[in-house]
Structure 1
Amino acid sequence: MLFDCGRSCENGDCDNCEENIEGIEEIYDDEAIITMVDAESGEEYQFAMVDDFEYKDQSYCVLVTTDEEEPEMVITKVVKMEDGEEGLMSLDEEEADEIYEEYDRLCAEAELDDEEDFSDEEE
């Protein structure tokens, strides 16, 4: 199964797609499934919440579509709604590149940490 990060790659052919989400089918079993409604069309979409992170005092959630043949990754901002509850909001174009780059950096850092832990165990 191909994974599309939702950015400028095609057919899952970028570092983000290949490295950040391996074994996506297995993730669904352990993660929260949420439904989001498009405010304009009223159409519902299901996502698995697979990760979250903080960046510049803002919380973000990493979601992966569950109802498509080729899952797509979407990063959303955690915001306080009018009723005081937390909700998720799409990133605007201006911030999206910076946020996706930060998530790529965090994933690369985590991968390096895992490799170091693995090499320490072998010694």
Structure 2
Amino acid sequence: MLFDCGRNCENGDCDNCEENIEGIEEIYDDEAIITMVDAESGEEYQFAMVDDFEYKDQSYCVLVTTDEEEPEMVITKVVKMEDGEEGLMSLDEEEADEIYEEYDRLCAEAELDDEEDFSDEEE
């Protein structure tokens, strides 16, 4: 995978999943901060890579903007670039809904697993 936040995140298990993204720059080291450039405008955007998952034989990365006032979650797919390296690409409109729904399902599943683990610990 391209980036490793060092917290063994997978399928929404990271404490900094969608619901807890405040202070992201303090939590993740520089290796997990990704700068992406808009091909049309040339504008740069910074993201923290907070999770990744596989769906239908395709790898996806979950990114969160580093804007502390209004952070936003973005899912990108991992693609092989012309130079042979891996890179990140925005989802097209046709696939975005399906991919976001899958990630929501994975997060809900992980949350249920966490609740079951917690109830097992209390017994």
> Normalization by structure 1: what TM-score?
0.78
Residues in 2 aligned to 1:105 and 1:11: alpha-carbon distance in whole angstroms = 9
Alpha carbons of 1:15 and 1:99: their partners in 2 closer, same or farther (altered >3 Å)?
farther
Q: 1:57 to 1:18 in 2, by over 3 A?
A: closer
Where relative contact order (Cα < 8 A, 6+ residues apart) is larger, the structure is 2
RMSD: 8.1
Report the CA distance shift for 1:47/1:97 in structure 2 as closer, same or farther (over 3 A).
Answer: same
Compared CA separation, residues 60 and 21, structure 1 to 2 (3 A): same
Residues 110 and 89 of structure 1, relative CA distance in 2, 3 Å threshold? same
CA contact (8 A) 1:38 1:44 kept: yes
CA deviation vs aligned residue, 1:15-42 (integer Å, no higher than 9, x gap): 9997475875764459700100000000
Give the secondary structure class of the aligned counterpart of 1:20.
coil
* Unaligned runs of at least 5 residues, structure 1: none
1:1-123 matches, cutoff 5 A: 19=19, 27-28=27-28, 32-67=32-67, 69-123=69-123
Instruction: Tell me the secondary structure at the aligned position of residue 16 of structure 2.
Output: helix
Kept in 1: contact 2:22–2:68 (CA 8 A): no
What TM-score do you get using the length of structure 2 for normalisation? 0.78
* Contact kept in structure 2, 1:27 and 1:50, CA below 8 Å: no
Cα offset, 1:83, TM superposition: 0.3
SS at match of 1:39: coil
The runs of 4+ residues in structure 1 deviating greater than 6 Å are: 1-18
Distance 1:101 1:95, change over 3 A: same
Return closer, same or farther for 1:30/1:40 CA change in 2, 3 Å cut-off. Answer: closer
Q: Report the identity percentage.
A: 99
